[in-house]
Amino acid sequence: MAALTPPAGTAAQPAREAAGRRHRPRLWRGVVGLIAALYFLGPLLSSLLFTVDVPGQGFTLGSYSGILGAAGFWSSLRLTLELAAATIAVTMLLLVPALIAVRLTAPRLRVLVEVLCSLPLVVPAVALTAGISSVLQWGPDDFADTPLFQTFNTVQNPGFPVVLLLAYVLMALPLAYRTLDAGLRALDLTTLVEAARNCGASWPRAVLQVVLPNLRGALLNTGFLTLALVLGEYTVASILGYQPFAVWIVSIGGSNAQMSVSVSVLSLVLTWVLLLLLAAAGRGRSARPPRGTRTSPAAPAPTLQEKS
Amino acid sequence: MTATTAEASASARGAGGATVEFHRLYRRFGATVALDGLDLTARPGELLALLGPSGCGKTTALRMLAGFEHQDAGDVLVDGEDITRVPAHRRGAGMVFQSYSLFPHLTAAGNVAFGMRMRGAGKSERHRRAGELLDLVGLAGLADRYPHQMSGGQQQRVALARALALEPRVLLLDEPLSALDAKVRLTLREEIRRLQQELGITTLFVTHDQEEALSMADRVAVLRAGRLEQVAAPAELYARPATSFVAEFVGTMSRIPAVRTGNGAQVEVMGARLPVQGELPSYGELDALVRPEAVRVALDPRGGATVVAASFLGAITRVTVRLPDGTEVKADLPTETAAVLPPGSAVTLTLPERPVLVDHRVV
């Protein structure tokens, strides 16, 4: 037996080495996590400190309380949120039925739809805006009373600029397409729809009650990406002369540096809160399996022999 | 069977078995002809298996009955009613798909109750019926499980319960067992047959597995290139195949050279004169088609045939024997008999004086 049992010292050494190897990835994860935290949280904390620590006054929330009363804050925030909601709705109403229809009835058109949806990626926002601007400014006087001219006027209504909504929908198309397409790829769409129809569901009910609930993740992600895009979009809105939240932040920054930084911090927090609310809303409606059902002792084994 | 199971059976049986008729169905996909004038009738309450190789049109016919495909010509009748223009969701045909087609966001009970929800049944009614049907398929305790928490066999049982929940006039099974492992397949095969007989529901079962078709069906329809080759009870199909295709597709057949005798009703096979089953081709060289269990093999040092291979199949062993002309013939022998005929043994073959199917020689 003695010959088979290595001395305690030599046996412990490989064990220590193995343990060391196991700990090394954790150590690296920690280091990477720390660097990432410093990279992201450092500027944020510095900004926060800058806004609440005023030389000579010490700690104060004055710059934050001032935001609420600042001219244009509420109107720009409301406009941005309205645009975000409308962009999400229009993008999904356009894309979801189109992608489902293409997959079910004309799969050969998928490539064409993909190319069309990806086109906005190769058109810079400045070029897009210049094009929109040129079209909207065009119109001889003779056209003044025509529906086309009136439509041009309507879409530029500063209360709710539809032209911005259309531009945002275009800009969101590539992101939304990729996300929804990935969600649809993960489903056996044809069989699901056929099974639903076989169970007595009409086409619309099959889509609403079977396809959409199983696309929840993709729909939520599309909502996240579109929301983030609209909240942060500056170029198009600024060139076309509208003042949603991002444009307002830049405009206030010129007059009051401290308030500008406060607004930036607040807009970040606002974005996170909205994203979290979207995620929570999606999770709340999702039908998650009850916890422990997989191994629940209450669930009897199948009556016939089969692997479970 | 529990009380609720009996109620579920009685309820589903209330739907009764319908007659299903395919009348001269044609369907073409581009250059491919999927159905080429298919004529077939399923009798009330029977389990009719549609058997054939890939691309023979069996699934196309089933999907036409379900309303997922349209025919270029011909009619689909259920109890004499032409359902060609009835949309899929109003056909009253319950279908179980090859791929597990359960709705991933619903529990087993939710899946079973889905069809009832579409029909406007109340919540308590749906809950009660779903419970009964899950009990009927042996999954009473798994009502709250989601598809991803169940095995393939369990998912197909839920799919079966979901199809039965609609109290369908016809049950359509599209290769429901092909994705399951062998043991589960065997068990579920018996379960489906038991349920179908209990409920007396007309069932069309698509499969390319001849063993599955022969063991489950009341009748088997063999399809080839969109046409019906033969429809018959399994035993008849096996014993008296109408065509050489059926003979070779259903079970195992050996082709042995046959010679005309001058008597149109007989051929000479391995020196023996045997009556011809069906019609004798009027020209060309011939082969006799012989089942392995019909071939007798005897050890004979002067015999011209040689054993070249043996496959152990349990109670029997399938022996491959090579004739002097190079033809290979398969013979099923009791394993004890085959034990004394190792590969290399010289043997003689004999055939019983029973009618044999004769076909043009395949080179």
CB pairs under 8 A between A and B: 112
Same domain, B63 and B206: yes
pLDDT at residue number B135:
92
Q: How many residues does chain A have?
A: 308
Query: Are the beta carbons of B89 and A302 separated by less than 8 Å?
Result: no
Residue A13 resides in a domain: no
Contact B138 A287 (CB under 8 A): no
The amino acid at residue A147 is P
If asked whether residues B272 and B200 sit together in one domain, one would say no
Pair B237, B299 in one domain = no
**Would residue A275 count as lying in a domain?**
yes
B356: pLDDT confidence band, cut at 50, 70 and 90? confident
| Per-residue model confidence as pLDDT tens digits over B165-219 | 988 999 999 999 988 888 888 888 998 999 899 889 999 999 989 989 999 999 9
Nearest CA in chain A to B93: A198
Average pLDDT score over chain A? 81
pLDDT of A295 strictly over 50: no
Q: Quick one: B289 and B222 in the same domain? A: no
Residues B187 and B218 grouped into a single domain: yes
Whether B45 and B114 map to the same domain: the answer is yes
Chain B residues inside the 8 Å CB shell of A204? none
Q: Report the 10 Å Cβ neighbour count for A122.
A: 8
Residue after which a domain boundary falls, among B243, B269, B300: B243
Interatomic CA distance for residues B182 and B159, integer angstroms? 19
Lowest-confidence segment of A128-142, A293-307, B328-342 by average pLDDT: A293-307
Can you tell me the distance from the alpha carbon of B12 to that of B40, in angstroms, rounded to the nearest whole number?
A: 25
- Contact between chains at A197 and B68 (C-beta distance less than 8 A): yes
Do the Cβ atoms of B146 and A289 come within 8 Å? yes
pLDDT band at A283 (very low <50, low <70, confident <90, very high): low
Does A301 map to a domain? no
Q: Count up the domains in chain A and report the number.
A: 1
Residues 6+ apart with CB under 8 A from B6: none
Residue B7 has pLDDT above 80, yes or no: no
**Residue A237: pLDDT above 60?**
yes
For residue B102, pLDDT over 90 is answered with: yes
pLDDT band at A277 (very low <50, low <70, confident <90, very high): confident
Q: Which domain holds residue B113?
A: 3-243
CATH number for the domain spanning B303: value is 2.40.50.140
Q: Quote the distance between the C-alpha of residue B308 and its chain's center.
A: 32
- Taking residues A130-147, what's their average pLDDT? 78
Torsional class of B306: left (φ above 0), alpha (ψ -120 to 50), beta (otherwise): beta
Q: Summarize the confidence of residues A219-240 as an average pLDDT.
A: 90
User: Number of helices and strands (H, E) in chain B?
Assistant: 10, 20
Q: Give the residue from B213, B243, B273 where a domain finishes.
A: B243
Contacting residues for B214 by C-beta, under 8 A, at least 6 apart: B220, B234, B237, B238, B250
The reported pLDDT for the residue numbered A269 is 84
| Contact status of B85 with chain A (Cβ, < 8 Å) | no
Looking at B203, B226, B243, the residue that finishes a domain is B243
In terms of domains, do B49 and B147 share one?
yes
pLDDT score of A12: 56
Q: Which residues from A are below 8 Å from B144, CB to CB? A: 290, 293, 299
Q: Does residue A232 belong to any structural domain of this protein? A: yes
CA–CA separation, A195 and B95 (whole Å): 8
Which amino acid appears at position B182 of this protein?
A: A
Q: Are B230 and B118 contained in the same domain?
A: yes
> Does the residue A122 lie in any domain?
yes
Domain hosting A225: range is 75-283
Q: What was the pLDDT predicted at A18?
A: 64
Over 60: is that where the pLDDT of A2 sits?
A: no
Same domain, B130 and B8: yes
Mean predicted confidence (pLDDT) in B112-139 = 92
Q: How many CA atoms lie within 13 A of B322 on its CB side?
A: 10
- A41 is a domain residue: no
Interface test with A, best of B5, B91, B119, B149 (most A CBs within 10 A): B149
Query: For residue B89, what is the DSSP state?
Result: G
B172/B257 same-domain check: no
Nearest Cβ partner for A192 among B101, B149, B188:
B101
Candidates A198, A290, A303; nearest CB to B66: A198
Structure tokens at A29: 């994860």
* Nearest alpha carbon to residue B150 among B139, B161, B166: B139
Cβ distance B249 to B222 under 8 Å?
A: yes
Q: Are A201 and B118 a contacting pair at CB < 8 A?
A: yes
Q: Are A270 and B130 in contact (CB under 8 A)?
A: no
Q: Chain A residues with CB-CB distance to B under 8 A?
A: 188, 191-192, 194-202, 205-206, 209-210, 213-214, 216, 286-287, 289-290, 293-294, 298-300, 302-308
Query: Using CA atoms, how far apart are residues A30 and A24, in angstroms rounded to an integer?
Result: 10
What is the domain count for chain B?
2
Q: Which residues of A touch B114 (CB under 8 A)?
A: 196, 199, 201, 209
CATH at A125: 1.10.3720.10
Q: How confident is the model at residue A23 (pLDDT cuts 50, 70, 90)?
A: low
- Asked if residue A36 is part of any domain, the answer here is no
Do residues B280 and B267 lie in contact, with contact meaning Cβ atoms separated by under 8 Å?
Answer: yes
CB contact under 8 A, A306 and B144: no
The answer on B126 and B107 residing in a single domain is: yes
Residue A258 confidence class, pLDDT cut points 50, 70, 90 = confident
Alpha-helical runs (H) found in chain A: 8-52, 62-69, 73-105, 110-122, 125-137, 147-155, 162-185, 189-198, 203-206, 212-214, 216-232, 235-240, 245-253, 257-285
Question: How does strand B219-224 pair with strand B47-51?
Answer: parallel
Dihedrals phi, psi of B282, to nearest 5 degrees = -80, -15
pLDDT band at residue A13 under the 50/70/90 scheme: low
Point out which residues pair with B36 in neighbouring strands. Answer: B26
CATH of the domain at B123: 3.40.50.300
Same-domain status, B207 and B290: no
Q: Model confidence at B363, in pLDDT bands (50, 70, 90)?
A: low
A51 belongs to a structural domain = no
Q: Are B206 and B62 in contact (CB under 8 A)?
A: yes
The tokens 């904390």 sit on which residue? Answer: A45
| Residue B297 bridge partners (DSSP) | B349
Residue B270 pLDDT greater than 50, yes or no:
yes
| CB within 8 Å: B153 and A302 | yes
